[in-house]
Amino acid sequence: MKTVVITGSARGLGFEMAKVFRKNHFNVVLSDLSEENLLKARDLLLEINSDAKVSYHICNVTKEEDIKQLVQFAINEFNAIDIWINNAGVNQPDLPIWELEDNDIKLILDIDLKGAILGSKYAIKEMIKEKKGAIYNIEGYGSNDAKMLGLSLYGTAKRGVTYFTEALAKECSTTNNNIIIGKLSPGIMITDFITNALANKEKIELSEKTKKVYNILGDYPDVVANYLVEKMIKNRKNNVKINWLPNWKAAWRFMTAGFNKRDFFQEKK
Ligand SMILES: NC(=O)c1ccc[n+]([C@@H]2O[C@H](COP(=O)([O-])OP(=O)(O)OC[C@H]3O[C@@H](n4cnc5c(N)ncnc54)[C@H](O)[C@@H]3O)[C@@H](O)[C@H]2O)c1
């Protein structure tokens, strides 16, 4: 039975991916900041009928020691890590760089960029011993070099994640291991992330224009997770990008926007 470890998986995309992996008979290691949230997530996962196991471990991805311990926990529980996903992430306050607090700048870079780097570093050390495994990092706004007011720092981090992931894939391709490094591009998802900066520390007020764009391009994370996980399970290639919202799909969404009756900001799922 295979094992997946997902950082920041008590809610949002991480949790939805965990559900799909469980449905596909993977052992799942959930990890996040709060034990209370992890327990709730674990109980919900256990409601899904599966012969695989669910474990959880607290891990703050800004702490190197936590990441090392998460790797060790997964190995102790399940012997090997088949897929590791650096999913934990935070949004930034809707402010220009010069108005961001130094501590918040550090936090965003530590979670969104350094967290993915350290997660990859310690997961790959184990995978090298096994000569197999896959690591996926999550892209986001800025990964493709786009710029938007109020997202400059988040964009800097995600641009870094993209570069880092491609560089790591190149390093892996020079070894004799069957290790896969890939990027997941989830488009826009209607999660707490879009209205909360710094993991719930600050609210983000979405303008009517932004809500309109999200109604056209956005999706709930379960829909995106189904797609991403199915592709990850099938993937055998290094340096892949699994992309939920390629340009052609975004263009199609805009062309057919007149028929789109979705309003994520009224309805409750
Ligand atoms: N929501 C979107 O539109 C969107 C779009 C593109 C990319 N992403 C990326 O997808 C990933 C998941 O986002 P989401 O929308 O599910 O967000 P979310 O806020 O719903 O979930 C993020 C999770 O990360 C956890 N987390 C925060 N700081 C952490 C830390 N220091 N250590 C460990 N866990 C921590 C949170 O507790 C939370 O459970 C993130 O990397 C995000 O940047 C999101």
pLDDT (tens place) for every residue of the chain, 269 residues total: 999 999 999 999 999 999 999 999 999 999 999 999 999 999 999 999 999 999 999 999 999 999 999 999 999 999 999 999 999 999 999 999 999 999 999 999 999 999 999 999 999 999 999 999 999 999 999 999 999 999 999 999 999 999 999 999 999 999 888 999 999 999 999 999 999 999 888 899 999 999 999 999 999 999 999 999 999 999 999 999 999 999 999 999 999 999 988 899 985 55
CB of 117 within 6 A of ligand 1: the answer is no
CB of 91 within 6 A of ligand 1: the answer is no
Please check whether residue 158 lies inside any domain of the structure. yes
Q: Check if the beta carbon of residue 228 is closer than 8 Å to that of residue 186.
A: yes
Looking at this protein, which amino acid is placed at residue 166? E
CB of 88 within 6 A of ligand 1: the answer is yes
CB of 7 within 6 A of ligand 1: the answer is yes
CB of 161 within 6 A of ligand 1: the answer is no
Residue 189 has which token pair? 């998802």
Please check whether residue 41 lies inside any domain of the structure. yes
Q: Which of 246, 209, 242 is nearest to 17 (CA)?
A: 242
| CA-proximal residue: ligand 1, atom 2 (nearest) | 189
Provide the CATH number for the domain around residue 169: 3.40.50.720
Instruction: Report the domain count for the chain.
Output: 1
Phi/psi for 188 (5° steps) reads -115, 125
Catalytic site residues?
154
Instruction: State in Å: Cα 175 to ligand 1 middle.
Output: 31
Looking at this protein, which amino acid is placed at residue 201? K
pLDDT of residue 266: 85
Helix axes 12-23, 35-46, angle to 10 degrees: 30
Q: Which of 17, 36, 39 is nearest to 28 (CA)?
A: 17
Atom of ligand 1 nearest to the CA of 34: 37
Atom of ligand 1 nearest to the CA of 13: 16
pLDDT of residue 267: 57
Instruction: State in Å: Cα 259 to ligand 1 middle.
Output: 30
Please check whether residue 123 lies inside any domain of the structure. yes
How many Å apart are CA 247 and CA 239, to the nearest integer?
A: 20
Task: Please indicate, yes or no, whether the overall pTM of this predicted structure exceeds 0.95.
Answer: yes
Helix axes 152-173, 115-130, angle to 10 degrees: 20
How many Å apart are CA 90 and CA 161, to the nearest integer?
A: 13
Please check whether residue 50 lies inside any domain of the structure. yes
How many Å apart are CA 168 and CA 256, to the nearest integer?
A: 38
Rg value, the chain, Cα: 18
- Residue 218, H or E segment: strand 218-219
- CA-to-CA separations, 232 to 21, 77, 167, in angstroms, rounded: 10, 22, 19
pLDDT of residue 260: 86
| CA-proximal residue: ligand 1, atom 20 (nearest) | 12
Q: Check if the beta carbon of residue 25 is closer than 8 Å to that of residue 54.
A: no
CB of 184 within 6 A of ligand 1: the answer is no
pLDDT of residue 268: 52
Please check whether residue 264 lies inside any domain of the structure. no
- Residue 72, H or E segment: helix 64-78
Instruction: State in Å: Cα 40 to ligand 1 middle.
Output: 17
Please check whether residue 260 lies inside any domain of the structure. no
Please check whether residue 214 lies inside any domain of the structure. no
CB of 224 within 6 A of ligand 1: the answer is no
Q: Check if the beta carbon of residue 187 is closer than 8 Å to that of residue 219.
A: yes
- CA-to-CA separations, 77 to 65, 74, 81, in angstroms, rounded: 18, 5, 10
Q: Which range of residues forms the domain containing residue 133?
A: 3-204+220-246
With H, G, I as helix, E, B as strand and everything else as coil, classify residue 109.
helix
| CA-proximal residue: ligand 1, atom 42 (nearest) | 89
Please check whether residue 263 lies inside any domain of the structure. no
Looking at this protein, which amino acid is placed at residue 64? E
